[in-house]
Amino acid sequence: MKKTIIITGGAGFIGSHVVRLFVNKYPEYRIVNVDALTYAGNLENLRDVEAADNYIFEKADILHTDDLERIFSTYQPDGIIHLAAESHVDRSILSPLDFVYTNVVGTVNLLNAAKKLWGSTLYPQPSTFPRFYHVSTDEVYGALGETGLFTEETPYSPNSPYSASKASSDHFVRAYGETYHLPVIITNCSNNYGSHHFPEKLIPLFINNIIHKKPLPVYGDGLYTRDWLFVKDHAAAIDLVFHKGNNLATYNIGGFNEWKNIDLVKLLCKLMDEKLGNVKGTSEKLIAYIKDRPGHDRRYAIDASKINKELGWKPSVTFEEGLAQTIDWYLENTEWLKNVTSGEYTKYYDLQYTKR
Ligand code: NAD
Ligand code: DAU
């Protein structure tokens, strides 16, 4: 019998890369993508795999327990990879409750559905099935100063409503592991970049704005630091942890690739000018320093030595290669960009920036 894996949030940025990897790499699995198709979910992201025999799409909101009950009893999943979430920090500042609902309540709904199906059995280690895998973020750890790295032992100290909701959902996942022996596993990953990334996040927003010669809104002094990882390397790490990680373990995933925002923006401007055939320095002129994000975390950086030593994972592409591939994808897919930045989304986007 084929193993069935539910992937939630599979129509989003990272989820679509995970679905594509699993559908292509594991014909022996049946992949069920459960996604509500919010503003961030887009089935265009999965056109190349939608006709595959081992792929099924279920449009469902993880807040609707009736839908989850139907889906779990129909497909009887052997594994769940949970990525569905509200994922944008700026939106969480404007509308924290949406994040509590989807990220916290939605995750608990999925945990309940898995518990009902799998019972409270103590499964042996190591074992892949059944497994409930929560894809989480490094933002749960809060902010770093000039030095130091987040390890799996760093205490949780979330600063934004988004990271508070992800921290809370991580705690529920862990609690279901301890209390009901649910076979759970969590990864905390740094900032991803790559194709199909919604243009509200720094890199795709700035690529889109450069294409349209619009201002590049750098928050505060621009000296905030993020650790960037190519999304396909994150998907590869998820595959590895899903199959080889230990229940109740957590793993940090990161790019060993720290950039101050302003340096990254200048690099992006330079690469975009080269690709667009612009005079050197053209895009940098679009940089506009604006009011800071409230509660803005100064620096994130991941110590990914545990996943490296225990499971042999490391990033496969350099930042230069990954960024060049990403820019090429956006330049070749301007229609995708146009579609996702039209209609309702445009209204929200304008609202966000006039509020500052
Ligand atoms: P995204 O916003 O691009 O996609 C989220 C997906 O979840 C969308 O397809 C959306 O339709 C779906 N969704 C949202 N609410 C839903 C609901 N109530 N029911 C069902 N589906 C719903 O997000 P992303 O950037 O791909 O992030 C995916 C996961 O990875 C999230 O859990 C996020 O916290 C985590 N993460 C993201 C990053 C990053 O850099 N983007 C880094 C670390 C961890
Ligand atoms: O660290 C992992 C997290 O990375 C994920 O959990 C989140 O889902 C993901 O959105 C991302 O969060 P960030 O807040 O770090 O990403 P964002 O792209 O929004 O911002 C990156 C940095 O750039 C941050 O310091 C804020 C700054 N920024 C962002 C935007 C959108 C700007 O200066 N200007 C902007 O317009």
**How far is the C-alpha of 143 from the C-alpha of 23, rounded, in Å?**
36
Is the CB–ligand 1 distance for residue 14 below 6 Å? yes
pLDDT in the model for residue 343: 60
Is the CB–ligand 1 distance for residue 83 below 6 Å? yes
Whether 162 is catalytic: yes
Distance (Å) from CA 186 to ligand 1 centroid? 15
Is the CB–ligand 2 distance for residue 230 below 6 Å? no
pLDDT in the model for residue 346: 47
User: pTM of the prediction?
Assistant: 0.97
Distance (Å) from CA 201 to ligand 1 centroid? 12
Atom of ligand 1 nearest to the CA of 41: 9
- What pLDDT tens digit does each residue of the chain (356 aa) get? 799 999 999 999 999 999 999 999 999 999 999 999 999 999 999 999 999 999 999 999 999 999 999 999 999 999 999 999 999 999 999 999 999 999 999 999 999 999 999 998 888 887 899 999 999 999 999 999 999 999 999 999 999 999 999 999 999 999 999 999 999 999 999 999 999 999 999 999 999 999 999 999 999 999 999 999 999 999 999 999 999 999 999 999 999 999 999 999 999 999 999 999 999 999 999 999 999 999 999 999 999 999 999 999 999 999 999 999 999 999 999 999 999 988 655 444 444 444 33
pLDDT in the model for residue 127: 84
Distances from the Cα of 132 to the Cα of 33, 63, 115, 170, 241, angstroms: 15, 17, 10, 12, 11
List the residue whose alpha carbon is closest to atom 41 of ligand 1.
192
Burial class from Cβ neighbours inside 10 Å (0-12, 13-18, 19+) for residue 175 reads: middle
Is the CB–ligand 2 distance for residue 149 below 6 Å? no
Domain locations along the chain: 3-197+227-258+301-319+345-352
**217: CB partners within 8 A, 6+ apart:** 288, 290, 353
Q: Which of 184, 186, 170 is nearest to 123 (CA)?
A: 184
Nearest ligand, CA 88:
2
Residues 162, 176, 193, 251: which is the catalytic one?
Answer: 162
pLDDT in the model for residue 319: 96
Q: Tell me if residue 294 falls in helix, strand or coil.
A: coil
Tell me, rounded to whole angstroms, the distance of Cα 332 from its chain centroid. Answer: 23
List the residue whose alpha carbon is closest to atom 21 of ligand 2.
202
Whether 156 is catalytic: no
Contact 5, 30 (CB under 8 A): yes
Is the CB–ligand 1 distance for residue 9 below 6 Å? yes
Atom of ligand 2 nearest to the CA of 201: 18
Residues forming a β-bridge with 55: 31
Distance (Å) from CA 283 to ligand 2 centroid? 20
Q: Distance between the two ends of the chain, CA-based, in angstroms?
A: 55
Residues 78, 86, 90, 138: which is the catalytic one?
Answer: 138
Whether 138 is catalytic: yes
Is the CB–ligand 1 distance for residue 37 below 6 Å? yes
Residue 258 main-chain phi, psi, to 5 deg: -85, 135
Peptide bond into 215 cis (omega under 30): no
Q: In this structure, what token pair is assigned to residue 256?
A: 């060993």
Distance (Å) from CA 219 to ligand 2 centroid? 10
b (16+ CB within 10 A) / e for 221-245:
ebebbbbbbbbbbbbbbbbbbbeeb
Contact 175, 102 (CB under 8 A): no
Q: Which fold, 3-197+227-258+301-319+345-352?
A: Rossmann fold (3.40.50)
Residues 35, 67, 78, 139: which is the catalytic one?
Answer: 139
Nearest ligand, CA 300:
2
Distances from the Cα of 176 to the Cα of 163, 173, 210, 261, 271, angstroms: 20, 5, 46, 37, 46
b (16+ CB within 10 A) / e for 121-143:
eeeeeeebebbbbbbbbbbbbbb
Pairing type for strands 79-82 and 225-230 reads unpaired
